[in-house]
Chain A
């Protein structure tokens, strides 16, 4: 049973701070990882994917992957109230197929 674990939160950070969202996974062979954002009552949207160890930056978002420790994290710099949402981590099957397993998500609240 593949597992993807996330702290459900809520994670509360002040506006302008760095929000750090973490995700651990059980399948050591996993090679691709995704972060989705889902606003309450809305559909998810893919915000980042990462394949290689290290950091990947996109605007205010940075994904960090450490395959040896089996964790992936998402940093949101200069957090804004509009970043308040649930963030879902997804881990793909080993190999080239697309068969993701999702975490339960972390609720982020950015307060003014």
Chain B
């Protein structure tokens, strides 16, 4: 069974631009969670989607948004990029509940210049 895939793996953007990251969960998994990891703040929870609905949300500004499609694939969007948005963005998928188990993708490394 294929694991969680994320595209692109690396991305360079400039301040003020927007970016869209994609995550394909493990087949059959309906929950997708997104995280941001930086050296300064560590790992932080962004949001979680289940059956095309945002079920949980962390403490991030509205510039960070996401969505989930009927095939469970998910995208996250960051608008008006800031230098501080440079980070590794990870997604993880779960069958139903991320509390029980989840599998992480390899991440998308975003650099904002």
A contact residues vs B (CB 8 Å cutoff)? 32, 34, 36, 43-46, 49, 88, 90, 92, 97-105
Would you call the interface of chain A mostly helix, strand, loop, or mixed?
strand
Q: Look across to chain B and name the residue whose beta carbon is closest to the beta carbon of A102.
A: B43
Shortest B52–chain A CB gap in Å is 17
Cα-based distance from A32 to B106 in the complex (angstroms): 25
Question: Which of B44, B98, B99, B105 gathers the greatest number of chain A CB atoms within 10 Å?
Answer: B99
Pairwise interchain contact B45-A99, C-beta atoms closer than 8 A: yes
Q: Which residues of A contact B44 (CB under 8 A)?
A: 102
Least Cβ distance of B92 to chain A in Å? 8
Q: Complex formed: what's the CA distance from A105 to B90 in Å?
A: 17
The answer to whether A92 and B99 have CB atoms under 8 Å apart is yes
In the complex, what residues of B have CB within 8 A of residue A45's CB? 103-104
